[in-house]
Structure 1
Amino acid sequence: MTSQITSHVLDSSVGRAAEGVRIHLRALGGQELARAVTDADGRVSDLGPALLPAGTYELVFETGAYFAARGVDTFYPHITVAIEITSADSGSGDETPPHFHVPLLLSPFAYSTYRGT
């Protein structure tokens, strides 16, 4: 299965990939659709189905557990990133549905995200 949503997490406080970050994909109402853990390169390439219907979704990154495992205090126990998939984004017919890549750059006291490619 090819996932429509992927992620890449980098820990800027140590200058390397953030291995072992749990990520949950949820519908806006809280229903969990998928979960994954970042690999040694900080990537998750299989997070959810090949096609999501139009709607608002949340990616929840468990950053508190990631930093706690390294003995580092953090201000953010988790980071929730809401994304909106419109009907125009959902693909139709024989078209390949669009890919949504959500990178996260984090440190114990700051984070940044954007829609990647």
Structure 2
Amino acid sequence: MSVSSPGGYLTTHVLDTAGGCPGADIPVRLYRLDSGVRRALGETRTNADGRSDKPLLQGDVFMAGIYELEFDVGDYYRRREVALEEPAFLDTVVLRFGIADEVAHYHVPLLVSPYSYSTYRGS
């Protein structure tokens, strides 16, 4: 009897580099781009540690392709009473990335401040 390998999955977390803390309670939306069509796959909010409580994508829907994550960071900073210009320099951060390996763990962190952000493929 053979045991199949577990499928891949996608997780994320947000770090508030300006505040030196996790980006808690930030709305996050996931989309897949198919031939230029953007299809919503789900949404969540980051937990107190700035992480998604469960994978954003896994199982049969975890496929190779182009995806986007949207993070509502402007509202996060407004709730923290950070003075922002209106409109805010960063309001919704959109990260477009590719998934090539359907059995791998893709972790997409967002490091953010009111005026900058960065990301990388985490582990």
Question: What TM-score do you get using the length of structure 1 for normalisation?
Answer: 0.84
| Structure 2 CA distance for aligned equivalents of residues 20 and 84 of structure 1 | 25
Structure 2: tracts of 5 or more residues without a match? 1-6
Structure 1: tracts of 5 or more residues without a match? 91-96
Partner letter of residue 21 of structure 2? R
**Residue 62 (structure 1) aligns with:** 72
> Which structure has the larger Rg over C-alpha atoms?
2
The runs of 4+ residues in structure 1 deviating greater than 3 Å are none
Picking from 45, 49, 63, the partner of 1:41 is 49
Contact 2:74 2:90 in 1 (8 A): yes
Question: What TM-score do you get using the length of structure 2 for normalisation?
Answer: 0.80
Picking from 108, 111, 114, the partner of 1:105 is 111
Root-mean-square deviation (Å): 1.6
- Would you tell me which structure has more strand in proportion to its own residues? 2
Alignment of 1:1-117 (within 5 A): 4-28=9-33, 29-44=37-52, 45-51=54-60, 52-72=62-82, 73=84, 74-86=88-100, 89-90=101-102, 97-117=103-123
Q: CA shift at 1:24, angstroms?
A: 0.6
Q: CA shift at 1:3, angstroms?
A: 7.4
